[in-house]
A and B are shown apart, each in its own frame.
Chain A
Amino acid sequence: MSPAAKQAKAKAAAKGGPILDVDRLAVSFTTEDGELRAVDGVSFDLAPGEILAIVGESGCGKSVTAQSLIGLTRASNARIEGAVRYRGKDISGLSDDELQDIRGEEIAMVFQDPMTSLNPVYRVGDQIVEMIQAHRDVPDEEAKGRAVELLRSVGIPNPDRRVNDYPHEFSGGMRQRALIAMGLALEPEVLIADEPTTALDVTIQAQILQLIERLNRDRGLAVVLITHDLGVVAEVADRVVVMYAGQIVEQGTLDEIFYDPQHPYTWGLLGSLTRLDQPRPERLPQIAGQPPSLLSPPSGCRFAPRCPHAFEKCAEQPPLEARVRAKQHLDRCWLTPKQKKELRTVGDRIGLEAPVSA
């Protein structure tokens, strides 16, 4: 995207206020082993026409966050706190019936695994038609025509013929396109895409990312993109939220996260990438250890047990707040910005490495 387009987008975003506003969302599940706090006080907002990426490793709570936005984590053993506001209206307390008008119509979701998200015994077209007719009173013929149009708009070749295919006749990339088509059927304002390209090959991933970017540009579709791949983030996102062990550890614009990252976990993520655009390092930098169990997370900073820069203060949990000049750039680390600038430089790139003791 050109800088001008980006600016225009930012301006439009500032005018309308956020389309989605998540306020101290907490989701916990009662399990045999105790209470598991999958999401622990997550707040962020999404501006109209914006692509927000939520990054983190498996088990960090990014998918639970995404699913909770449209009430998909409601279960008898789940406890959900906080608010999710869509255009200023709290939708977290709505009943399932009331949510029906939001799901698909306003906020749609695309799941990770295109192989299992479609029903194998129904034709792809019929599944899209079902989605349309569940919400709108449309005759069969018209709904079918709409399904063909949708498949065409996401780049499926020969949509009039393909609409009658079964999911197994589609390749992985085509299934993901079909799911996106289904998500777009009712022209939602927000698309939540949970690892939409993880199951796909790089060449197909590039096609899907191009599609998401095009939809964002042409229709002003706002996207919450859940991913663990920072390469994907760099390609499409406007803003980034980094999650670790159920909490947001850093949040900022794309450039802030990539060029001025404040949290050691973000440095670690950036550092452990095998990058094609840089000379090959002798040894791949790694983050030692594993994420903590969410049944009993560390009482202080949750990343401290894996952080080579941890010091006494880290026994106390750092709040998520702005520590650098940019007010929207938040992080959860006690180090001062000056210390961070020094510590994160490993060789000529950003990384997480133990300081050399004198």
Chain B
Amino acid sequence: MAKGEPLLEVTDLVKHFPIKEGIVIDREVARVRAVDGVSLTLREGETLGLVGESGCGKSTLCRAILQLTQPTEGSVRFEGQELVGLSRGDLQPLRRQMQMIFQDPFASLNPRKRVGQIVGDPLALHGLAKGAELKRRVQELLDRVGLQAEHYNRYPHEFSGGQRQRIGIARALALQPKLIIADEPVSALDVSIQAQIINLLDDLQDEFGLSYIFVAHDLGVVRHVSDRVAVMYLGKIVEDAPAAKLYERPIHPYTNALLSAVPIPDPKMNAAREPLVLEGDVPSPIDPPSACRFHTRCPWATEICSTEEPAMLEYEAGHTAACHHPRNVDDRKLAAAGSRK
């Protein structure tokens, strides 16, 4: 897979939600730091997996990238063009290039619209097709995602979860975008159907040269689809690496814990390993722990972790992590990373 130019560059993106109090005058009493300084690069034709527990800010990050929610600070550049601060009107033509597939196939399709309308609306809204031409293109799309042309006049409730997700994919494809952000596209589906949808997304990527940001909490699925994986914890990226490296030699303790928590579907191997089970829950993003945000749950945490924020260091080509006590790293790499600081 040859990867081209950077398609999307996210730099120090921040999204805080104010918590307000007061009857007449709104006073800001606190902030939910949902996304707190995230930098990412996505190249053309590449799939970036984004993993993390619920509440870590994955979905907010996606929405902030697409300008579905106004970022508090930071920059998002799409093909070199800055998106933050653009007006709705200026964003409109750019939206054609960036589409989203949502998690819940039951909630993301309007139950009162026919499939033809759901998939055709983006085309009509952007003035790309109408009348018979519109219908033909929608039917082509339906056919491409593994549905039938005669499904054109059906309603969403007549379809199963997997089929609905296909409708959502057809809708996202309608405008021939370059970037698709898929927010947990398979987590609501059964395993056998999951595989079908993942393979479909894979085929579409090859066919249309799509770039994906693939959000999921299932690490197995993420490894399968991703070229690169970013691990998020409480609004920050803690590790970013080529998929194979992340799974072979995870550096950040949080990544280690996540991987260790995934049950292996093999009884003997399961019994043989010593799982690393994290205590407690993810802290609140309203008042995140100081310095390294993972130190409250980290088995290797020391004094420094609560006083000094670890920098994002590059340990190997393309493999970066932010931790004072990196795992799976030998002295040579450690020294090299230190000198690159």
Contact = CB atoms under 8 A, between A and B. Distances in A.
B152 interface: no
Contacts of A286: 192, 195-196, 199
Contacts of B263: 205-206, 209, 229, 231-232, 234-235
Given A58-B161, A280-B223, A286-B199, A202 B262 contact: yes
B195 A275 contact: no
Q: Which size bracket describes the interface of B in this complex? A: 35 or more
A254 B271 CA distance: 12
A276 B264 contact: yes
B202 interface: yes
A145 B202 CA distance: 55
Contact of B258 (A1, A203, A207, A255): A203
Majority SS at the chain B contact face? helix
23 contacts: A57-B191, A171-B282, A174-B281, A204-B53, A205-B263, A206-B278, A207-B278, A231-B263, A231-B265, A233-B265, A234-B264, A235-B263, A254-B267, A272-B191, A274-B220, A274-B221, A276-B259, A277-B269, A280-B223, A283-B202, A286-B195, A287-B195, A290-B162
B190 A58 contact: yes
Contacts of A202: 53, 217, 219, 258, 261-262
Contacts of B278: 203, 206-207
B275 A234 contact: no
Nearest to B243: A280
Contacts of A231: 262-265
Interface string A149-188: 0000000010000000000000111100000000000000
Contacts of B279: 207
Closest 4 CB pairs of A and B: A231-B263, A274-B220, A286-B195, A287-B192
Contacts of A270: 265
Nearest to B281: A171
Nearest to A237: B267
Interface residues of A, number: 46
A234 B266 contact: yes
B52 to A, nearest CB: 9
B261 to A, nearest CB: 4
Nearest to B280: A157
B160 interface: yes
A286 B196 CA distance: 6
A276 B255 CA distance: 13
B285 to A, nearest CB: 13
Contacts of B220: 273-276
Interface string A219-263: 000000000111111110000000000000000001100100000
Contacts of B268: 255
Interface string B245-275: 0010000000001111111111111110001
